[in-house]
A and B are shown apart, each in its own frame.
Chain A
Amino acid sequence: MATPIIEFRGITKDYEMGTQIVRALRGVDLDIWKNEYVAIMGPSGSGKSTLMNLIGCLDTPTEGTYHFEGESVEMMTDDELAEIRNQKIGFVFQTFNLLPRADALHNVELPLIYSGTTAHERRRRALEALESVGLADRVDHRPNELSGGQRQRVAIARALVNDPAIILADEPTGNLDTTTGEEIMSVLETLYDAGNSIILVTHEQYIAEHATRIVRILDGLIGSDEQVERRRKTNQVTA
C-alpha cells in the first residue's frame, strides 16, 4: 500500500486554560491516503477543531508522531510549518477568511506571494483557479461585493492555487444557506473527481455523507472510521 499523506500515531494535544491543563486529543491514530474524501465528524468540544489544526500544521502535537507525505512534522520549526501550509495545504474556513480590502484576484494570489511567484505568473495561476470555480467574471470584486457562496468559492480557489496535497475544509457550509451549501459541496465534488484529496470537518451528518469515509471523534478519541455506503453526490453545478 502507498504511503499515506497523513499518518498520525499516538497524537495527544494539551492546552493550558489558566492553571488547568485540558487534554483535547488523547492518543489519536489516523491514516489518510491520496485522493480520499474524508469527513471528520464530532460534536462541539470533541477535539475535531484541534485535530484539524494539527493536520493543517497550524499547531504541533504535545505527544505522538505526525508524518506528512512521509516527513516527520511534530519537530518542525515555525518556518518549516509555514512552508508546508503554503505548498501542501489548502484551507477553506467556515467564515471564509478573505482579506476584506483586496479583490478576489488578490486574495487568491496570496499564497503565491509567499512562495515568491512573480506578478505575471501569479496573475495567470490565480485567474486559472478562479475560472475553475466559476468566478472568472468576478475577479475584481471585493469580498463585500460578493455573495456568501461566491466568497467561499474564492476561498476554495485560494486553497487550490498552489496545487496542494490536501484541501482542508472546516465547516465550509456553516455560514451558507442550504442551496448555496449544496453548490459548494458540488464544487468540492468536482475537485475530488479531479484527483484532489479532501478532508472535511463538520458536525452535520448530512454534510459528512458527501464524503467517501467518515471518521467520528468524541472526547479526544476516534470513535469510528467507516466507508460511507450511500454517498450524497450532488449535481455538478458550476454557476
Chain B
Amino acid sequence: MVALRFLVELRESILAAFRALRANLLRTILTTLGIVVGVTAVISIISLIQGLDRTFRSEIASLGTNVVYVNKYSWVSMGDFWKYRNRKNITLKQARELAEQVTLPAAASSSVSTSSTVKWRERTARSVSIEGHSPEGRIVHGLDPFTGRFFTDVEANERRQVVVLGYGLWSDLFEGRDALGHRIRIGGHAFTVIGILPERGSIFGMSQDDQAIIPLDTVLKLFGTRRSIGVALLASSADAIPLVEDEALGIMRRIRKVPPGEEDDFALNRQQVLVDLFRSLTIGLFAVLVGVASLSLLVGGIGIMNIMLVSVTERTREIGIRKSVGAKRRDIMWQFLVESVVVSGVGGVIGVAAGLGIALVVSAATPLPAAAPVWAVLLGLTFSTSVGLFFGLYPAAKAAGLDPIVALRYE
C-alpha cells in the first residue's frame, strides 16, 4: 500500500539522514552555520523587542491611557529647539480657566513640580520631587493613598501645608512606621502627612515613588515657580480622546490668544504619542531583524545546496545501487530532500536554543525582560526547514535523475 511504503521510507530516510550527519559532523556544523546564525538572530532580536515593549508599556502605564496633557512643550522631539525657547509658560490663571471651560473631560487637574529637601526627625532626603496638584489630581492621575487620604478642596484653597507621601519617600524617611499625622519639613516648611501612596513604579527612570505631593496653590505660595503649569484632562473613554483634544485646543488657543493661522504655542500630549514613537523605533529594529535574518538564511541555504551537491556526487555509486534494487526517482528525491531538511532543521533547533539562551542571559543580567514568544520559535523553525526544503530541491532532483548504469560505474 502506497501510504505504508511512504511511511517506511520516510522513517528510513530520517534515520539515514541522521546517520549521514553524524558521519561528517564537522561538515554538517559548517553547513548549518548560516541557518543557526539566522535563527539565533531572529529569536534574540524578537525577544529583545518583546522585552523593550514590555518595559515600555509598564513604564508608561502610569501615564493613564485616557489622559490628555496640556503642556508648554511636546513630549517628543520637535526638531528646532531654538524656535520654541521663547514660549511662555502656562500660568496658573490660564490653567484654571482651561479647567473651568472644558466640558467634555470627566475631570481636569493642574500640576507643577519643583524640587526640595525633605526632613523628618534626623532623616533627610535631598532633591525630592515635589509635585503640586489640584485636588482633582486624585481622580485624573489615580492618586489613591492606601492609608490616609488625599487633600480636599478646602485644604487646597486655603493653601494648607499638608502632604501625601510617595511610597519610596515614606519608606526612606519612616521605614515602614506609621507616618500619618506626623510633621515633616519640606524646604524648611512644616507639613503634616495626611496620606501615603502605594508603589507606582517609575516613568523612564524617574521614580514616582520618591515624590511628595502637596496642593498646587501651596507650592506656588511657598516656593513660587518658574515652571510651566501642566493641565491633565481625563477623557471618559478612549474614543472621546480626540474630542477632548479638539475642545482643549480651541479653548487654550483663545486663552493664550494665539492668532488664527499661527502655530499653537503649547502642546497636547498623550500616552499614545509615546506608544507611536516607540512603535516607529521598534519597526526600525524589526527592519534590521528582517535584513539580518534574510541574509543569513540565504547564506545558509546556499551552503546547504552546495553541500548537498557535493554529497550527491560523493554518493553517486550509492544512488546507482539503490536504483538497481528498485528505488524510483521519487525515492531518491525524498531521501536527499529529507536529508537537507533534517540538516537545516537541526540548525534551526540549535538557533532557537541559542536565541533563547541569549534572551535568558539578557533578562538575568539586565533589567530588560527579554523572552521569546512561542510564535517566534515556530517562525524560526519553519524558516529553517523551509530553507532546507527549497535549497535542497535542486541537488535532490539531480540525484533522482542519475542514470543507474552510469552511476554504478562511478568511482
Chain A residues in the interface with B (C-beta under 8 A): 53, 56, 58-59, 78-79, 82-83, 85-87, 91, 93, 97-101, 110-111, 113-119, 158, 162
Contact = CB atoms under 8 A, between A and B. Distances in A.
Interface of B: 1-2, 4-6, 8-9, 11-12, 19-20, 23, 317-318, 320-329, 331, 404-405, 408
Nearest to B16: A102
Contact of A97 (B4, B6, B405, B408): B408
Q: Which of A87, A111, A113 has the most CB of B within 10 A?
A: A113
Given A97-B317, A99-B318, A101-B19, A115 B408 contact: no
Given A87-B326, A101-B19, A111-B326, 8 more contacts: A58-B404, A85-B325, A113-B8, A113-B9, A113-B12, A116-B1, A117-B8, A118-B8
Contacts of B19: 101
Contacts of A99: 318, 321
Contacts of A79: 328-329
A86 B331 CA distance: 13
Contacts of B23: 101
Contacts of A116: 1-2, 4-6, 8-9
B7 to A, nearest CB: 8
Contacts of B326: 82-83, 85-87, 111, 114-115, 162
A82 B329 CA distance: 9
Contacts of A114: 5, 9, 322, 325-328, 331
B325 A111 contact: yes
Please give me the 9 A-B residue pairs with the lowest Cβ-Cβ distance, nearest first: A86-B326, A116-B5, A111-B325, A114-B326, A82-B328, A85-B326, A97-B321, A79-B328, A116-B4
Contact of B408 (A83, A87, A93, A101): A93
Contact of A78 (B9, B321, B329): B329
Contacts of A53: 405
A98 B321 CA distance: 7
B388 to A, nearest CB: 22
A83 B329 CA distance: 11
Contacts of A119: 8, 11
